[in-house]
Homo-oligomer: A and B are copies of this chain.
Amino acid sequence: MASLGELERSVMTLLWDSEHPLSANEVCEQLDEDLAVTTVLTVLARLEKKGMVLRERSSRPHRYAAVASREEHTVEMLNEVLGTVPDREAVLARFIGSVSESEAAALRRILG
């Protein structure tokens, strides 16, 4: 449900990496591709509709910010994936079996 297209992801990445909300123009300039501003506005509107972006309509130009942090959003994605199976733990067990030793160590540390 909250999966992203390529351009959508590029835009989200800019918003995630920015301290402040950005205008469509700023997003446009910071993108690698050379796109029309209307294209960026369309994408921002779609992201807003998906609930991923918050728009400040008070200021002119409007400013856009990510609703959730990159990490929050990605955890949601993980849970979405895990929600497709009947046995989360079976998947997590296999996942953990597949990670590097250093990452496993990090996980142990996090789990206290």
Which residues of chain B have C-beta atoms less than 8 A from A96's C-beta? 107, 110-111
Which residues of chain B have C-beta atoms less than 8 A from A104's C-beta? 111
Q: Which DSSP category, helix, strand, loop or mixed, fits chain A's interface?
A: helix
Is the interface on chain A under 10, 10 to 19, 20 to 34, or 35 or more residues? 20 to 34
Would you call A37 an interface residue if the criterion is a C-beta within 8 Å of the partner chain's C-beta atoms?
no
Which residues of chain B have C-beta atoms less than 8 A from A97's C-beta? 110
A residues apposed to B, CB below 8 Å? 3, 9, 70-72, 74-75, 77-79, 81-82, 84-85, 88-98, 103-104, 106-108, 110-111
30 CB contacts below 8 A, A to B, read A3-B3, A70-B85, A70-B91, A71-B85, A71-B90, A71-B91, A74-B81, A74-B82, A74-B84, A74-B91, A74-B94, A75-B91, A75-B95, A75-B98, A77-B84, A78-B78, A78-B81, A78-B82, A78-B91, A78-B95, A89-B103, A89-B106, A92-B103, A92-B106, A93-B106, A96-B107, A104-B111, A107-B107, A108-B108, A108-B111
